[in-house]
């Protein structure tokens, strides 16, 4: 659009320049031919520069807004043109201010969110502790335990959240934990639906104390129980162990005796004593084994009861009882281990004894067999064949030898068989042994595994207990810290409150005091004022009386002075009358002097007296009549030079003016209007007005009207005007003086 405009302007410029050129050419054809092109060229160049200037201004205004504003301010119609070319001034400085405000909002909103979530979690915590306090009774320690544990968990969560809020608000960190806490609390508090009620501190403390007491009772009872069961189980276990050891002893004794009996080949009395001992030992062994068994059973029972007690106490889940439980468990484990060890020892001894017993049985059986054989061969011979060497016959001997040989053969055969079957027997025995070993191994491994498991578990429990203690201590310190912070804060708040209240009280006091004081002052002031008023009134009256008397004297004095003044003013007025028709009056010097003398202390009269113009004092003033006469002669002159003024003052104008004066006729005297209009300012009219005024004695108005003359006419009547002014001035002063004197005289005269 700008280009279109420019093009249009250029086109019109070209056209106009073309036209001008044409006319120029035409003109030039008439006159000369050399100057046409230069003129047109000049015009074209001028137009080009103008358009270029305007275009440049528009482009620069588009680029620089300040320049545009300056141009619009200074050049009248530029804003219209610039608006047409570029469009209205754009407004793009308002938006960036809004953005920082928006960015400030999110952190504050997040902070608010965190604060609300924190408050919510705190409220929930209070609720849960209330619930815990409510439910804590000796009847159900379990929920209290639950709630306490969970409360402790929440407390740790909340403390972590609070610590995070105090440092740097990190919304992504606190939000999930707060949300998790709220979710957790929601799921928990859904189970206990109760209205929120604020409990007093004493109630809460009482309930907490009761809770503690209950816990302590439980712990004491538990510990008593544990101790009892531990003691009983320990006793039983010791007994069992003792019994087992006794059994073991008996078994080994018996086995040893048996071995001895088997191997020994002593005389029969010894043998019988041996066998008797053996029997006694066997009886001993059986009894001791039985005792051991019963003791073991008892010990197991006791251990089981201890285990049940431990389990029960574990079920109670009181934290303080844990170490006791742990100790009891350890003891139990130790006892079990010892018992198992002893039992295994006893079992091994028993197995050994079994082997020995088997051996003895075999031997015994062989002996029995041999006896039987011998007896079957020689029925008459008794068992005790050693003492029968002399009684035996040769047949018997031969039979015996043959039997013996046969027996030997048989035995050899058996031996060979045995040797053949040795391997198989060995393998079978090995298998048996392996199986037994395996069994024993399994059992041992099983027991060992159990023991190890138990030990590991105990270790874990111990470690857990330690850790719990540590955490408990830490939480206690944190809570203590929180409590300390709370007390500090409360202290500060109290201090501030105290200060505020004190300030308020002081302010109240001071305001009340001020009010009292002002009232007192007011009262005293009123009293003073009343007294002063009375005094003033009395004084004023006294003064009035005095003044009245003085003023009397003064008044008389004044009257005299006024009289004198009046006389002198009268004299002055009379001097005015001495003016004749042609000559001025007498100089007013003497009369003025007289007036001044008579009003020495009267500033007003003095001022007036000195206001008389110099000329009048020295030379005197003309009378009105003379002025009137003069005016008439002046009038014709003024008429004659009516057209002459600063710009029209050639002789030709003079001639015209004379002709006008000769030909123009106006009224001799005309009533002047109250308001002069512009057509009244014509010199002829003015002169007739002035003439009228003079005829009717109004010199002042005449002078005013004459003052309206301009030009040469004015110059002609200047003298007259000055004289008239002088006369008027003098007359004014004198009239003022006389009026003043009259007034003073009237004032001082007292009516009879």
Partner 1 sequence: MADELGRKWDRCLADTALKTVTGVGIGIVFSVLFFKRRTWPVSFGSGLGLGMGYSNCQHDFRSPYLIHGRVVKEQS
Binding site for partner 1 (CB under 8 A): 633-634, 637, 641, 644-646, 649-651, 654, 712, 715-720
Minimum CB–partner distance for residue 717 and partner 1 (Å): 8
Minimum CB–partner distance for residue 713 and partner 1 (Å): 10
Minimum CB–partner distance for residue 8 and partner 1 (Å): 50
Closest CB to partner 1 among residues 60, 655 = 655
Minimum CB–partner distance for residue 652 and partner 1 (Å): 9
The 8-class DSSP code of residue 90 comes to: P
Closest CB to partner 1 among residues 124, 635 = 635
Q: Measured between alpha carbons, how far is 347 from 344 in angstroms, rounded to an integer?
A: 5
Give a three-class secondary structure readout of 112-152: HHHHHHHHHHHHHHHHHHHHHHHHCCCCCHHHHHHHHHHHH
Q: Measured between alpha carbons, how far is 699 from 580 in angstroms, rounded to an integer?
A: 17
Cβ–Cβ under 8 Å, residues 40 and 21: yes
Closest CB to partner 1 among residues 588, 716 = 716
What the block records as the tokens of 71 is 């141009």
- Measured between alpha carbons, how far is residue 718 from residues 543, 643, 712, 728 in Å? 60, 17, 10, 15
Minimum CB–partner distance for residue 660 and partner 1 (Å): 16
Q: Measured between alpha carbons, how far is 331 from 321 in angstroms, rounded to an integer?
A: 15
Minimum CB–partner distance for residue 680 and partner 1 (Å): 24
Minimum CB–partner distance for residue 74 and partner 1 (Å): 30
Residue 92 φ/ψ, nearest 5 degrees: -130, 30
User: 676: helix, coil or strand?
Assistant: coil
Minimum CB–partner distance for residue 585 and partner 1 (Å): 21
Minimum CB–partner distance for residue 689 and partner 1 (Å): 20
Q: Measured between alpha carbons, how far is 136 from 142 in angstroms, rounded to an integer?
A: 9
Closest CB to partner 1 among residues 542, 637 = 637
Closest CB to partner 1 among residues 341, 648 = 648
Closest CB to partner 1 among residues 319, 649 = 649
Which of 31-64 are b and which e, b meaning 16 or more Cβ less than 10 Å from the residue's Cβ? eeeeebeeebeebbeebeeebeebbebbeebeee
- Measured between alpha carbons, how far is residue 504 from residues 512, 513, 580, 603 in Å? 12, 14, 97, 67
Minimum CB–partner distance for residue 718 and partner 1 (Å): 5
Cβ–Cβ under 8 Å, residues 738 and 730: no
Q: Measured between alpha carbons, how far is 158 from 178 in angstroms, rounded to an integer?
A: 8
Minimum CB–partner distance for residue 646 and partner 1 (Å): 5
Closest CB to partner 1 among residues 627, 716 = 716
Closest CB to partner 1 among residues 645, 729 = 645
CA atoms within 13 Å, Cβ hemisphere of 96:
3
Give the contacts of 34 (CB within 8 A, at least 6 positions apart). Answer: 28
What the block records as the tokens of 736 is 């003022």
Closest CB to partner 1 among residues 128, 657 = 657
What the block records as the tokens of 673 is 């209007």
Closest CB to partner 1 among residues 168, 651 = 651
Q: Is 470 exposed, middle or buried (CB count within 10 Å of its CB: 0-12, 13-18, 19+)?
A: exposed
User: How many residues are present in the chain?
Assistant: 752
Closest CB to partner 1 among residues 385, 654 = 654
């Amino acid at each position: 659009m700008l280009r279109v405009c420019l093009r249009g302007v250029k086109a019109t410029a070209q056209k106009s320049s073309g036209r001008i050129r044409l006319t120029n050419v035409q003109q030039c054809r008439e006159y000369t031919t050399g100057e046409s092109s230069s003129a047109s060229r000049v015009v074209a160049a001028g137009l080009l520069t103008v358009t270029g200037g305007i275009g440049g201004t528009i482009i620069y205004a588009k680029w620089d807004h300040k320049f545009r504003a300056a141009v619009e301010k200074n050049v009248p119609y530029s804003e219209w043109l610039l608006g047409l070319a570029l469009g209205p001034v754009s407004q793009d400085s308002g938006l960036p201010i809004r953005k920082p405000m928006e960015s400030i909002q999110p952190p504050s909103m997040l902070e608010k969110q965190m604060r609300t979530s924190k408050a919510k979690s705190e409220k929930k915590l209070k609720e849960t502790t209330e619930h815990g306090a409510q439910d804590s009774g000796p009847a159900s320690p379990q929920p209290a335990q639950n709630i306490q544990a969970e409360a402790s968990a929440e407390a740790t969560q909340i403390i972590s959240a609070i610590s995070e809020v105090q440092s740097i608000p990190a919304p992504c960190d606190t939000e999930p934990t707060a949300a998790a806490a709220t979710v957790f609390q929601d799921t928990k508090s859904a189970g206990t639906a109760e209205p929120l009620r604020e409990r007093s501190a004493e109630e809460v403390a009482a309930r907490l104390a009761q809770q503690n007491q209950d816990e302590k009772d439980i712990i004491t009872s538990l510990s008593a129980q544990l101790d009892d069961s531990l003691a009983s189980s320990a006793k039983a276990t010791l007994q069992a162990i003792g019994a087992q050891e006794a059994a073991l002893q008996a078994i080994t004794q018996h086995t040893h005796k048996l071995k001895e009996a088997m191997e020994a080949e002593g005389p029969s009395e010894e043998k019988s004593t041996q066998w008797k001992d053996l029997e006694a030992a066997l009886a001993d062994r059986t009894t001791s084994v039985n005792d051991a068994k019963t003791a073991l059973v008892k010990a197991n029972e006791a251990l089981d009861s201890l285990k049940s007690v431990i389990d029960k106490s574990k079920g109670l889940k009181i934290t303080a009882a844990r170490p006791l439980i742990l100790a009891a468990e350890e003891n139990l484990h130790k006892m079990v281990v010892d018992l198992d060890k002893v039992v295994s020892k006893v079992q091994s001894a028993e197995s050994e004894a079994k082997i020995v017993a088997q051996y003895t049985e075999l031997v015994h059986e062989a002996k029995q067999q041999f006896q039987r054989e011998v007896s079957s061969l020689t029925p008459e011979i008794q068992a005790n064949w050693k003492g029968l060497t002399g009684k035996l016959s040769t047949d018997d001997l031969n039979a015996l030898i043959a039997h013996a040989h046969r027996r030997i053969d048989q035995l050899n055969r058996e031996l060979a068989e045995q040797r053949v079957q040795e391997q198989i027997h060995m393998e079978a025995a090995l298998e048996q042994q392996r199986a037994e070993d395996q069994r024993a191994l399994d059992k041992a491994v099983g027991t060992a595994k159990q023991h190890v498991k138990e030990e590991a578990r105990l270790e874990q429990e111990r470690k857990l207990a330690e850790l719990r203690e540590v955490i408990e201590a830490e939480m206690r310190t944190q809570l203590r810290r929180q409590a300390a912070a709370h007390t500090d804060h409360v202290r500060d708040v109290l201090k501030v409150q105290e200060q505020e209240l004190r300030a308020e009280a002081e302010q109240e006091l001071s305001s009340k005091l001020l009010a009292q004081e002002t009232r007192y002052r007011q009262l005293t002031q009123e009293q003073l004022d009343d007294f002063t008023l009375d005094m003033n009134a009395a004084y004023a009256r006294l003064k009035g009386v005095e003044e009245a008397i003085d003023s009397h004297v003064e008044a008389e004095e004044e009257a005299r002075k006024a009289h004198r003044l009046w006389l002198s003013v009268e004299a002055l007025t009379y001097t005015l009358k001495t003016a004749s028709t042609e000559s001025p009056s007498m100089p007013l010097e003497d009369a003025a002097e007289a007036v001044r003398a008579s009003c020495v202390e009267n500033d007003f009269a003095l001022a007036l007296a000195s206001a008389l113009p110099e000329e009048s004092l020295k030379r005197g003033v003309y009378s009105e009549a003379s002025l009137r006469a003069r005016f008439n002669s002046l009038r014709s002159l003024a008429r004659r030079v009516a057209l002459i003024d600063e710009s029209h003052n050639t002789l030709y104008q003079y001639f015209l003016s004379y002709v006008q004066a000769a030909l123009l006729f106006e009224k001799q005297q005309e009533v002047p209007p109250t308001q002069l209009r512009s057509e009244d300012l014509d010199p002829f009219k003015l002169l007739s007005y002035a003439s009228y005024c003079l005829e009717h004695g109004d010199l002042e108005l005449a002078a005013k009207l004459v003052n309206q003359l301009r030009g040469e006419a004015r110059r002609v009547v200047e003298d007259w005007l000055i004289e008239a002014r002088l006369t008027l001035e003098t007359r004014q002063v004198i009239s003022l003086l006389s009026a003043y004197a009259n007034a003073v005289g009237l004032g001082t005269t007292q009516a009879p």
